Structure 1
Amino acid sequence: MHDHATQPTIAQRAFFALLYLSEGAPIGYIWWAMPTRLRAAGMPVEQVAALTSLLTLPWALKFLWAPAVDRLRNRRWGYRAWITLAQALMGLTLLPLALLPLSEITGIVTLLLISHAVAAATQDVSIDALAIATIPDDAYGRVTGWMQAGMLVGRATFGGLALTAEQWIGSQAVVLILIGCIWCTLAVVWLFPLDHIKANARPESDRTFAAALITVLSRRATWIGLAIALIAGAGFEAVGGLMGPFLHDRGLDKETVGLYFAFPVVLCMIVGSLIGGWAADRWGHKALVQSSILAIALAIAVLVAADLNTSGIALMAAAAPIYLALGSLTASSYALFMDLTDPAIGGTQFSAFMGATNLCEVWSIALAGAIVSKSDYPIAFGCAAAISLIALPLVPFARRAHTLPK
């Protein structure tokens, strides 16, 4: 328990929420809107799942270049400079999609989206490292709750509302607005004051990057954390990744699905994130992670049962508890991974944990898509939920970094 947790300021929480909004906006468009559009256009569900998995890979592999973000820093070039570079490239790689008809650039669309994903993953590394370097250790849960709320607002706007907005202003205009959202947040990146940076996270820290990395790799908790990240989210990743195609195949049109993602889904996830983050700081990050994993598995069982007897709006309602529990798991697990992270290599170590969660998304969506192509959605969702339970006995062994020898 953390009964006397340090209270992060509203401004600090809002700052990181806004940064995560700039992350969530393009993720929502690429991960949520596009799969539904492609499925509605007749693409087989296994192909939709494969494409989504491909665009997720840069987030899963970002730990490979995260050391550059940690190592290539000085008093003039820090995490904020890395964020600026990444967001500039994020907008530039989307610009052709905003200025030219899709039919004219079909040959380079995949390259543009992958390049955007690499830049976005680098932005993610930099923001997370900045958070670990500045947020008090015992306030991780509440701040990550706000960060996820910002992420979800971005996802809702460009992953749900975008499907409806495209009918009125066109897909190119939606992408142009998305670019504006990414670039406008750069002003806040530089205007917000960062008064406190942990001593061992400063570029001039006596601890070398190599020494910190060797220490981290020698910790059992690091590998346990990676295993948790790779497994715990399998249930909600499979359901979340295929929810759009699932609802479409159950008779709902893409506009209704878009509104569902934009409002009920995001509201449930925001509420779950804020409550889960607060509860994690109060009752323990590990306890909330375990409770959330169980809650997601139970909620998926309810959805599978509902699929036997209901359809349409009732099926959407049955899926809502999954997103509540998902918000709680996201906030509490991110706080747990921050506990395990050494601020001296915050970008590298935390990105490894996040990369494992993204890799979990890759394999779970791909597996679920393959199962659906051979059987049906309930079996795929049930298998993924069962696999996620393997993480439960691992959580108690994820010890906080500061309790281990340096």
Structure 2
Amino acid sequence: MKSHDAQIEINQLKKRGFLTENAVLRYLVFSALYACEGIPIGVLFYAIPAWLAMNGIPASDIASYVAMVTLPWSFKLIMAPMMDRYTWLPMGRKRPWIIFSQACLFLGFLAFGMVEDPLNELGLLMTLGFIVSLFGAMQDIGIDGMAVDVIPLNQQARANGVMWGSRVIGQSLALLGGTALINTIGFSNAITFMSFIIILLIMVPLFIRERPGEKLFPWTSGKPNETAIQAQSTNWKDLLKSLFKVTILPSSFLLAISMFIIGTFSGIYETLLPIFTVQNLGWTNTEFSNVYSLATIMAGFIGMFVGGVIIDLFGTKKMIAIILTFMSIVILSFSLVSSYWNSTFIIYSFVILYSLSITLYNIAAIALSMKLSWNKISATQFTLFMMMNNLGISAGAIIYGWVQEKFSWPLIFIFTLAFIVFGLLTFRFIKIKKHLETIEFFNQSSKKHESGK
């Protein structure tokens, strides 16, 4: 009897080393992976635009650069089905892809750092930035897909708070460190140094496993987990049919539209903030990175420790409505006090409140996207929602280039409120319970179909 109990205890201890079996391990692993995701975002989307602005590069050129490096994130819908359809199941459904994309991200960063004169070679900077961003997007798909696969539904809101908070902190530290390094040791050396941080973090997916029984490395013992086998799409027809079935559901469609609208709003601000502070207010890129990093790190920690709890308390839809309403009040108030923009307190307060709002919105929107995703095509459907967000960010960067030439700064801020209003309207009509009931019906129908073969 004692021997039997001891064996049970040993089996339980073994299970703790797998993501599906250990909540604490999930929080730690996904925190590290999302922090790694934030590195290319902090450098490409924030540090470099602020550096270009400080060096007098025209706003239209900076907007073109931002649009180019965000564009690969719109290609995720092409890459995600590949990950859902093809993988090496003995090492997990998404883990092999995460390891591969992280290795490619490291090589892309090395190549990006080889641009000798980035200020006079904007075309080359954009091209290599596009490639780095492509691998970053690939890594993001794998991590998101694995999160949908292994995190239980009742833990997704809190897990998203931890994960998105980690990503925000990662990108903030990358912005802060990247800016300091570019200013002190030069562009090439700074980017090369950042690439070695990325390769160091590849140790995380190398030494964890998704499910019991899977291989740690190709040469170690292990086999595909039965749950992974059942969830894996076996042919393109089945995958595309499943994607079509779930995408045409009203709530899926409305969420995709909502993500695009608020993504466009976010894209305008990602492009606007470094240009507004550096070229309009006369800040240096270091001042911008310090303030923005501080604001986003604060927002990240609040998101990690409070975000998920608040979402659980209010619910994802209600939380999104509260956040977007609060954000619109902040922006409207800021646009109406333009005569006080020389006040450090006013500018700092706006950046901090905007960062907190967009962070909490992203946590809630991602939790909602995970909730509405069908685990059979987790990477593809979730990526569809994220792709719409990223497509919106690219559109926002382009729209800002046009708006900046037409309107004064106060009117630009007021103009962005239209996106929040449209976003609020579309989010309102999403029916979560009905959507989940339909997905459960799909699952039961799929099981009946399989058993009837």
TM-score, normalised by the number of residues in structure 2: 0.82
- Does residue 215 of the first structure (1) align with residue 231 of the second (2)? no
CA contact (8 A) 1:23 1:151 kept: yes
Within the candidate set 157, 167, 171, 1:151 is matched to 167
Q: Could you say which residue in structure 1 is the equivalent of 2:274? A: 244
Distance change >3 Å, CA 121–CA 46, structure 1 → 2: same
**Displacement, 1:312?**
5.0
Alignment of 1:252-401 (within 5 A): 252-272=283-303, 274-314=305-345, 315-400=347-432, 401=435
Q: How has the CA–CA distance of structure 1 residues 116 and 45 changed in structure 2, closer, same or farther, with 3 Å as cutoff?
A: same
User: Quick one: structure 1 residues 347 and 86, their matched pair in 2 at CA, closer, same or farther if it must change by over 3 Å?
Assistant: same
Conserved in 2, the CA contact under 8 Å of 1:236 and 1:385?
no
Residues 79-228 of structure 1 correspond to what in structure 2 (within 5 A)?
A: 79-98=94-113, 101-102=116-117, 106=121, 108-195=124-211, 199=227, 202-204=230-232, 208-228=238-258
Structure 2 unpaired stretches of 5+: 1-20, 213-224, 443-453
Question: Compared with structure 1, are the counterparts of its residues 393 and 174 closer, same or farther at alpha carbon in structure 2 (3 Å cutoff)?
Answer: same
Q: How high is the sequence identity, in percent, across the aligned residues? A: 21
How far has the Cα of 1:74 moved from its partner?
A: 3.9
**Normalising by structure 1, what TM-score?**
0.91
Cα drift, residue 104 of structure 1: 12
AA at the equivalent of 1:271? I
1:15-54 alignment, distance < 5 Å: 15-54=29-68
Change over 3 Å in CA distance of 1:38–1:198 after alignment to 2: farther
| Deviation, structure 1 residue 14 | 1.9
Give 2:10's aligned residue.
none
Q: How many residues align?
A: 401
Q: How far did 1:80 drift?
A: 0.8
Paired AA for residue 34 in structure 1: I
Q: Name the CA shift for 1:230/1:132 in 2 (closer, same or farther; >3 Å).
A: same
CA RMSD between the two structures: 2.6
2:90 partner SS: coil
Q: Which residue of 1 aligns with 2:436?
A: 402
SS of residue matched to 1:232: helix
Tell me the distance in 2 between the aligned counterparts of 1:146 and 1:198. Answer: 29
In 2, Cα distance between equivalents of 1:60 and 1:304: 31
Bigger shift: residues 29-38 or 297-306: 297-306
270-279 vs 255-264, greater mean Cα deviation: 270-279
Partners of 1:114 and 1:155 in 2: how far apart? Answer: 18
Q: Are the aligned partners of 2:169 and 2:297 in contact in 1 as well (CA < 8 Å)?
A: yes
Residues 34 and 354 of structure 1: CA distance in aligned 2, closer, same or farther (over 3 Å): same
* Partner amino acid, structure 1, of 2:258: I
Q: Which has the larger radius of gyration?
A: 2
Any idea what the Cα deviations from partners look like across 1:331-385, whole Å, max 9, x if unmatched?
0000001111111111111111001111111122321232112222222222122
What residue number does 1:3 align with?
none
Measure the CA separation in 2 of the matches of 1:103 and 1:32.
Answer: 16
**8 Å Cα contact 1:234/1:388 also seen in 2:** no
